[in-house]
Structure 1
Amino acid sequence: MNGASGPQSAVPVPVVTEDNAFWFAAAREGRLVIQRCVPCGELRHPPAPTCALCRSFDWDCVEACGRGTLHSYAIAYYPKDPAFDYPLVIGLAELAEGVRIVADMPGADPSRIAIGLPVEVVFAPHYRGELLPTLREVRS
């Protein structure tokens, strides 16, 4: 026992490195950014030190619109962790910019989840206090 009170979670603290620090800094501001290769323009997520297309180390980033469609999903019921509400919907969204992002879909009704569902990225506090992207259905 480490002396901490309350339920213990298996959710790890995000690992911030030189390669992804810019992404976590933008997330703390409620902004979703995507890494872009300067020479060839290829977008990549998650962040990486080099471009998979041209192998350049030269990059900048662009702000994403945060809208897209659900490309795939999983609904978890177990094992239960105090960091999440269950059933836990986890979505893989294809953003308008063409990259994909994995995020929780808190409060989503599992009976409404389907491939192609319009979604948007919103930022919410996570179990350990980080501000991280989540997905929610866009209703017309």
Structure 2
Amino acid sequence: METLATAEDMRAFGVRLAARLRAGDLLILSGPLGAGKTTLAQGIAEGLKVRGPITSPTFVIARVHPSLCGGPPLVHADAYRLGGDLEVDALDLDASLEESVTIVEWGEGLVEGLAEDRLEVHIDRESGADARTVELRGVGARWADTPSDPA
């Protein structure tokens, strides 16, 4: 578990995490509203060097950000407004999963079936505090040796 004091620290954590990511990786971000899920996604996008801007995809549900350096594209999705498995299936995230890094905000309990290997990222914050705690949980062989700090 890592404690991050500022939004800048969260972005920097995302940049460090991006260095470990590759095409086919699925990240499921969970945590309360305002925890920093999109801020973390911005840091990951910076580290992957994809075209931005990276904003919350709540109303468009999913965005594809192509690489600017020949790396994998970033698929950034938000399951907050989705009503269940049928709506997740309609997004067709599995169609691009193998060649992209896929981040799904609010995907806990909805998108785990997309991949046997995934990185679950839980972000929490105390009421009224700026600091966030980030906990990484690797699932599957790809993430068997995942430390909580990606540095």
* TM-score in terms of structure 2 length: 0.24
Query: Highest relative contact order (Cα 8 Å, sep 6+), 1 or 2?
Result: 2
Higher helix share: 2
* TM-score in terms of structure 1 length: 0.26
